[in-house]
Copies of this chain bind each other. A is one copy, B any other.
Amino acid sequence: MASTQTPKSIMHSVAPMLSVRNGAAAVEFYKAAFDAKEVFRIESPDGAVVSRLSIHASEFWVADESPEYQNFSPESLGGATTRMVLTMTDPDAVFARAVSVGARSVSPVSDKEYGWRVGRVADPFGHHWEIGRPLE
């Protein structure tokens, strides 16, 4: 499925590309944890993937790291320089589902003084996700 077609919806857009070790496994994790849908995928003969995923109308990319091109996984650098803000109507349920399939709880879902109900997980590949919604 190495199509190069690009829907018009992504023209004039910005989307993050997460570098990971084991991109193929990461794609499966994001599907299981966040109900992400894969909309595009390139696989190299060595198994490395570049995958575009969507969660509702939002898109992000996942790719195997390539330190020679300055694309580093959190495992390589010992931390992440971008976290993902996942806004969902039921953050408690999404948080629980993510943890049930392998994410690690960094801070449980709770009401914050800045007006959000939010929790934070680290995924098995070292990227962090803030899962929340604005309080009523």
Interface residues of chain A, those whose CB is within 8 Å of chain B, are 4-6, 10-19, 34, 42, 55-58, 60-61, 67, 70-74, 76-89, 106, 114-116, 122, 126-128, 130, 133-135
Q: Would B72 and A6 count as touching, CB distance under 8 A?
A: no
Known: A4-B115, A42-B114, A70-B128. A13 touches B81 (CB 8 A): no
Q: Within the assembled complex, what's the spacing in Å between the Cα atoms of A13 and B86?
A: 6
Q: Are A12 and B57 in contact (CB under 8 A)?
A: yes
Q: A55-B13, A56-B13 are known contacts. Are A81 and B73 too (CB-CB below 8 A)?
A: yes
> Could you tell me the distance in whole angstroms from the C-beta of A117 to the nearest C-beta in chain B?
12
Whole-angstrom CA separation of A65 from B11 in the bound complex: 30
- Give Cα A83–Cα B85 distance, bound, in whole angstroms: 15
**Which residue of B56, B81, B135 contacts A77 across the interface (Cβ within 8 Å)?**
B81
CA–CA, A73 and B42, complex, Å: 29
Closest residue of chain B to A114 (Cβ to Cβ) is B4
Q: Closest chain B residue to A72 by CB distance?
A: B79
Measured between alpha carbons, how far is A87 from B9 in the docked complex, in Å? 10
Contact A134/B14 with A70-B106, A77-B79, A85-B61 known, Cβ cut-off 8 Å: no
